[in-house]
A and B are shown apart, each in its own frame.
Chain A
């Protein structure tokens, strides 16, 4: 992140240097042209400022699946917290000190021994960033969006997850206003593992539903 902040900073003080340090020497793609042109227009018009852009990039860089993992780990350990979390996710998470008032609504779906849950956004790429960080490339891909609702079992096998035929697979389709995340099953033997350690095994993929928490 520091690199990008330096880059934006440098750029303001080198107007004689017409293009961007990281873009010199190669022909810009359409997207790169659009981004540079849009950014310059928004800055010229005073719609956004460079410090704001830096702050936003910094905030985004500090979002990660570690937030979601810490909350799931706490729920595995604390039945009362888990009940509250499943009943009223946003309020329960806010009570922990996370400022999520402007974030879209959240539903946490709990995996059970007979039900495995998986999350997608078929219409777009809606994702609970404030719990899981930025969505992975594949989550946003046309292939995942089109296929996981049609044949989740097959798709999960591609992710290395073989869900037994006896288990029901439920696919949750997120919307702009309502995001889903999965509460994976606590792996056997992990009940007595400290929360701090549990957090490290609750991966982003396990909270999307395409993976399972791995014990070391």
Chain B
């Protein structure tokens, strides 16, 4: 635990990329991230399974629209806050979307419109249930 205490006492300077976590406990603590390792086995939720499948399909082992290096570059450009607070699959989803827009798979306008459509559909479905 000596190392942990030393880490906590270090002045927090964000000179490293948000992804560069090795040994950087103070970075976690400064962002209020739980430093305990939860050993709970967490099965993927349905949307995470689909996100995982889309990533593999788009990757170089699949269709080659993106590769792991591009995905990492995209997620490493997130703010420290986003990188640490987003869940694992949300981070990948955000990176996939950024890369799809960047490479012209779809436009930012199309993305915003589709997101809005999904939100409205969700609201309508909730209303149907409560009615």
Interface set of A (CB-CB < 8 Å, partner B): 3-4, 7-8, 18-19, 22-42, 45, 47-48, 52-53, 56-57, 60, 102-103, 120, 122-126, 134, 136-138, 140-147, 149-151, 154-155, 158-159, 173, 176
Which of A57, A150, A176 is close to B68, meaning CB atoms less than 8 Å apart? A176
CB contact under 8 A between A53 and B54, given known A40-B114, A136-B41, A147-B25: yes
* Contact A31–B33 (Cβ < 8 Å): no
B90 / chain A contacts, CB cutoff of 8 Å = 29-31, 34
* Contact B24–A25 (Cβ < 8 Å): no
CA A60 to CA B54, docked complex, whole Å: 11
CB contact under 8 A between A35 and B23, given known A125-B88, A137-B42: no
Interface set of B (CB-CB < 8 Å, partner A): 1, 3-4, 7, 19-25, 27-28, 33-42, 44, 46-54, 56-58, 60-63, 65, 68-69, 72, 84, 86-90, 93-94, 96-97, 100, 105-106, 110-111, 114-115, 117-119, 121-122, 124-126, 128-129
Per CB-CB distance, the 5 closest pairs between chain A and chain B, nearest first, are A122-B22, A18-B121, A31-B90, A137-B42, A56-B53
* Contact B129–A57 (Cβ < 8 Å): no
* Contact B110–A24 (Cβ < 8 Å): no
Instruction: Tell me, rounded to whole Å, the shortest Cβ–Cβ distance linking B18 to chain A.
Output: 10
B50 / chain A contacts, CB cutoff of 8 Å = 4, 8, 35, 39, 53, 57
* Contact A137–B33 (Cβ < 8 Å): no
Q: Can you list 19 residue pairs at the A/B interface with Cβ under 8 Å? A: A18-B124, A19-B121, A19-B122, A31-B86, A34-B97, A35-B54, A35-B93, A38-B54, A41-B105, A41-B106, A41-B111, A53-B53, A126-B68, A136-B41, A142-B21, A146-B22, A150-B25, A151-B1, A176-B68
